[in-house]
A and B are shown apart, each in its own frame.
Chain A
Amino acid sequence: MKTVQTEVPEALYNKAVALVNEGWFRDEKDVFAEAIRRFLDTHQSELMQKFVRDDIEWGLHGND
């Protein structure tokens, strides 16, 4: 496991703590790891390339 030190807005951190206090996560580290995992799931290189290629096709050959 890699250790990453970063700064997050206090409001964001408080929301993470609230999830832990409610029992949804073991600790804040788990919350942030899950958040990053979800972000990476939706920002895969192939997916973003597909979006751009779809845009080019629409740009060149769309009808509106």
Chain B
Amino acid sequence: MIEGARDIVCDTGPILHLDELGCLDLLADFKEILLTVSVVKEIEKHRPVALTVKLPFLVLRAHKPADERLAAMCRIFALDRGETESLVIMESRPSAIFLTDDASARMVAERMGFRVHGTIGVIVRAIRRGRKSPEEVLSILSSIPSRSTLFIKSALLKEIALRIKKEFNI
């Protein structure tokens, strides 16, 4: 754990995708990884091995949203239970970062003023944190279509790779 590091509230997607790519350990330098009961159930269903990785997981029970706006948006955008509960946790931990790969959940989080990122951000962040070299990150990114269930269009993946190469003069 890094001193001053933030908590993250994690939706199911990033845990699955990072584990599929063999880099779930990139979450190790966050303070705590807060998971809701529903998210844990989804991970247990789809990729139970991810929960055996030694990480600062903390499972929390969430109730109903305190903010009526959040409750309404979760319904309007048809967020599932895991996403909704994660956003409820964010209500009580506004300095945390919400990790999700779901576009609707991300949109609701942004509208609520929460900080929100996804799997791609965590992978690229590994360079800045000194946990991976730019070349290693490029290799991970290029393996996304073959190794993970994260969908990202190939043109955008190429754009990300170009951006990293430009940033690090590769």
B is a partner of A = yes
**B142 in contact (CB, < 8 A):** no
By size class, the interface of chain A is 20 to 34
Cβ B107 vs Cβ A52 within 8 A? no
B side interface size, CB within 8 A: 28
Cα–Cα distance between A51 and B117 once the two chains are bound (Å): 8
If over half of A's interface residues share one DSSP class (helix, strand or loop), that class is named, otherwise mixed; here it is helix
**A58 in contact (CB, < 8 A):** yes
Instruction: Known contacts A38-B78, A54-B117, A55-B121; decide if A60 and B128 are in contact (CB<8 Å).
Output: yes
Instruction: Known contacts A42-B103, A48-B103; decide if A55 and B124 are in contact (CB<8 Å).
Output: yes
- B6 / chain A contacts, CB cutoff of 8 Å: 64
- B156 / chain A contacts, CB cutoff of 8 Å: 49, 52
Closest chain-A Cβ to B102's Cβ sits at a distance in Å of 9
- A62 / chain B contacts, CB cutoff of 8 Å: 125, 128
**A18 in contact (CB, < 8 A):** no
**B152 in contact (CB, < 8 A):** yes
Count chain A CB atoms within 10 A of each CB in B77, B124, B156 and give the residue with the most.
B124
Cβ A64 vs Cβ B97 within 8 A? yes
**A47 in contact (CB, < 8 A):** yes
- A43 / chain B contacts, CB cutoff of 8 Å: 103-104
Can you name 11 A-B pairs with beta carbons within 8 Å? A38-B76, A43-B103, A45-B153, A51-B118, A55-B121, A55-B124, A58-B117, A58-B125, A60-B124, A61-B128, A64-B97
